[in-house]
Structure 1
Amino acid sequence: MTSILTNTGAMAALQTLKATNSSLGKAQSEITTGLKIAGAKDNASTWAIAQTMRSDVASFNQVSDSLNASIAAVGTGVAAAEQISGLLTQMKAKVTASMAAGADTTTIQADIDALTAQMQSIVDAASINGLNFVGSTGSTDVLSSLTRDSTGAQSAAFIGVAGFDLSTGTAGTARGAFEGSTFTAAAGGDLLAFSVDAGAAAAETVTLDATDFVAGDKISISVGNKATTYTVTAEDLAATTASDVIAVKLKAAVDAMGIAGFSLDYNSAAAGDLIVNNDGTGAADRNVAFSLTPANAGGLSSLNNIAVGTAADRTAALAAVSTAADSVNAAAASLGSAQGRLEAQAGFISKLTDNFKTSIGAMVDADMEEASARLTALQTQQQLGIQSLSIANQTPQTILSLFR
């Protein structure tokens, strides 16, 4: 039966053509945008995963920027520490030159003072974006990554970079820390340097006076080319006999250096007494120095006390420069290691970001070769659909022949 009201053939052809046009529109969209999943309606689950990964990529880009800025700041600190180490080498050479007979100690002193000022200038300039890893102590947490747990919750990860105070600053208020039984302390009693001959048992007694100490004062002891530092705490000063407590801790610090034939003994019979012994296996002549850096003074503030006017001054100066050089070299090594870790992490974040981008592309990017082939096929189907609809629309017209 042929009906002029209901053309089922045209209806079927029209539905087919609509489906073809819909598929053709999708194919054209894929070719235009390059995405097979451009929105949530295309594939809600995959789109949501891709969006989460896109947000992670954006976050990783910020992490990368943070790492690169920190790498630059730490690298500047390394360069500053290395430069200061070189200046200390020059200073040590000048102190040594001052020990020669007939040396012009006035000119040498001026050169030493100029080197000290140059070190401070380097520290002041070693700042990038407010970060100065050689201008103060304390640790800086550098954003290094973002992690997700099994529930999808995200958290930040950090790499701690320790800072070092290599500023010369000022000498600070003298504490009158040391008194020697044979040798006289310099720099307001905060620097005591002497030489101990091999086999000289109980060669010197150093009396520690903690009366004027404050928390944060640093006591350094150097023996030959080795050195150790102890920072006075509030708990130490709260003890009934603070000098004894600190003296015991200094003995432990020297013992930990493990210098054969050398020891520092605590004399419990006299408050704050430390007895220097240089006898036993492996004994050798040793240059020994006790120095105190006041809290809040520059990390290398002891350099402000260096003088080469007398033999005692020169001996103390040599010890002070050696101790400072050890501190600076340790700072350069630590910062160099931190710079290496940050650079390795930056490289990893870069690769991780690339992997995320690749994964996102695999999920949502269109296969352009496939899309092109599908577009050609759909265009052919569209033409055939139009032709089929045209034929179906002509069918009711044959009814007219029955009324002629």
Structure 2
Amino acid sequence: MPLNSINTNSGALIALQNLNSTNTELGMVQQRINTGKKVGNAKDNGAIWAMSKNQSANSQALNSVKDSLQRGQSTIDVALAAGDTITDLLGKMKEKALAASDTSLNTASFNALKADFTSLRDQITKAADNAKFNGVSLADGKTTKMTFLANTDGSGFTVNAKTLGLAGIGLSAGSTFTTATLAKAVLTQIDNAIGTATNKLASLGTSSTGLDTHLTFVGKLQDSLDAGVGNLVDADLAKESAKLQSLQTKQQLGVQALSIANQSSSSILSLFR
């Protein structure tokens, strides 16, 4: 037979313990719903929390990688734009040299073609020198290569520079003609320059494609890391919502159970009537 005591109410103590347990669970569920995370700090699950922090740090570090790769893309794009201009100029120079090789031209016409040729030649130098992004050029011959970030470990993606100025394509500041015969001879130089320029642009284009591919990979890698972190720490809100309703009901029942247990002591009074 259980002891009837006004000092110790075992039923109330048990009911209180159960209610406290329910309140603790309810607080955890409410926190998960408020934050959207099942692991919000190291107290929730130390191992999972540490893992998620490491992966989050890697994901954030990839932003720097993406910035570097995008800067590389822009630098190459500027060089390619200059290269397109230079090949167009070479095409016009070939046109002028070919026209000047016509021996039937009078002196005025020949000199006009020569002046046009010289002007086009000088524009090549300007295009190569001005092909800069963020103060750096892959086309002016002052840089041999550039290395951009490729991963969070500091490894790099190297792009070799291509000199697109006159010296880089086999011409010089003195490339010109003074007679129809020399104009015809210049045509071979221009053809060689066009071939050299297009080959260098093709190499830069390949490097640009490589950067594009790696940038796409880095974006997918970052998305995968973010998704992995979400799988580790994000709460299933539908599940937590259902659990919240269950615990709220359990809490109400616990309060009632504690109230009933507390009333049991009052039955002792009937013994003294």
Asked if Structure 1 and Structure 2 have the same fold, meaning a TM-score greater than 0.5 normalized by the shorter chain, the answer is: yes
Matches within 5 A, 1:238-253: none
Alpha-carbon distance between aligned partners in 2 of 1:125 and 1:371, rounded to the nearest angstrom: 60
Determine which of 28, 41, 44 is the counterpart of 1:42: 44
Alpha-carbon distance between aligned partners in 2 of 1:48 and 1:165, rounded to the nearest angstrom: 49
The equivalent of 1:355 in structure 2 is 224
- 1:331 partnered with 2:225: no
The equivalent of 1:371 in structure 2 is 240
Alpha-carbon distance between aligned partners in 1 of 2:71 and 2:265, rounded to the nearest angstrom: 77
The equivalent of 2:133 in structure 1 is 128
The equivalent of 2:32 in structure 1 is 30
- 1:167 partnered with 2:165: yes
Determine which of 83, 100, 117 is the counterpart of 1:112: 117
The equivalent of 2:188 in structure 1 is 319
Deviation per residue, 1:49-79 (Å, 9 max, x gap)? 1111101110112211211121121112112
Identify the structure with bigger relative contact order (alpha carbons < 8 Å, sequence gap 6+): 2
Alpha-carbon distance between aligned partners in 2 of 1:303 and 1:83, rounded to the nearest angstrom: 18
The equivalent of 1:89 in structure 2 is 91
Q: Which runs of 5+ in 1 are unaligned?
A: 147-154, 169-297
Determine which of 55, 66, 82 is the counterpart of 1:64: 66
- 1:157 partnered with 2:155: yes
Deviation per residue, 1:213-237 (Å, 9 max, x gap)? xxxxxxxxxxxxxxxxxxxxxxxxx
Matches within 5 A, 1:137-216: 137-146=143-152, 155-168=153-166
Determine which of 320, 323, 344 is the counterpart of 2:213: 344
The equivalent of 1:199 in structure 2 is none
If the length of structure 2 is used for normalisation, what is the TM-score?
0.92
The equivalent of 2:19 in structure 1 is 17
The letter of the residue matching 2:104 is G
- Report the secondary structure of 1:159's partner residue: strand
Alpha-carbon distance between aligned partners in 2 of 1:369 and 1:125, rounded to the nearest angstrom: 59
Is contact 1:85–1:325 with CA below 8 Å preserved after alignment? yes
Alpha-carbon distance between aligned partners in 2 of 1:397 and 1:126, rounded to the nearest angstrom: 94
Deviation per residue, 1:79-123 (Å, 9 max, x gap)? 211221111011012111111013322111211121122222322
- Report the secondary structure of 1:145's partner residue: coil
Alpha-carbon distance between aligned partners in 1 of 2:229 and 2:187, rounded to the nearest angstrom: 63
Offset of residue 360 of structure 1: 1.0
Comparing 155-164 with 44-53, greater Cα deviation is found at 155-164
The equivalent of 1:283 in structure 2 is none
Alpha-carbon distance between aligned partners in 2 of 1:68 and 1:306, rounded to the nearest angstrom: 37
Is contact 1:10–1:389 with CA below 8 Å preserved after alignment? yes
Alpha-carbon distance between aligned partners in 1 of 2:13 and 2:135, rounded to the nearest angstrom: 73
Aligned residues: 267
Determine which of 241, 251, 264 is the counterpart of 1:382: 251
- Report the secondary structure of 2:159's partner residue: strand
Deviation per residue, 1:166-223 (Å, 9 max, x gap)? 224xxxxxxxxxxxxxxxxxxxxxxxxxxxxxxxxxxxxxxxxxxxxxxxxxxxxxxx
RMSD: 1.7
Q: Which runs of 5+ in 2 are unaligned?
A: none
Deviation per residue, 1:309-347 (Å, 9 max, x gap)? 135633552233223222211111011111111111111
The letter of the residue matching 1:344 is T
Q: Which has the higher strand share?
A: 1
Identity level (%):
35
Q: Which has the higher helix share?
A: 2
Is contact 1:53–1:356 with CA below 8 Å preserved after alignment? yes
Runs of 4+ in 1 over 4 A off after TM superposition: none
The letter of the residue matching 2:22 is T
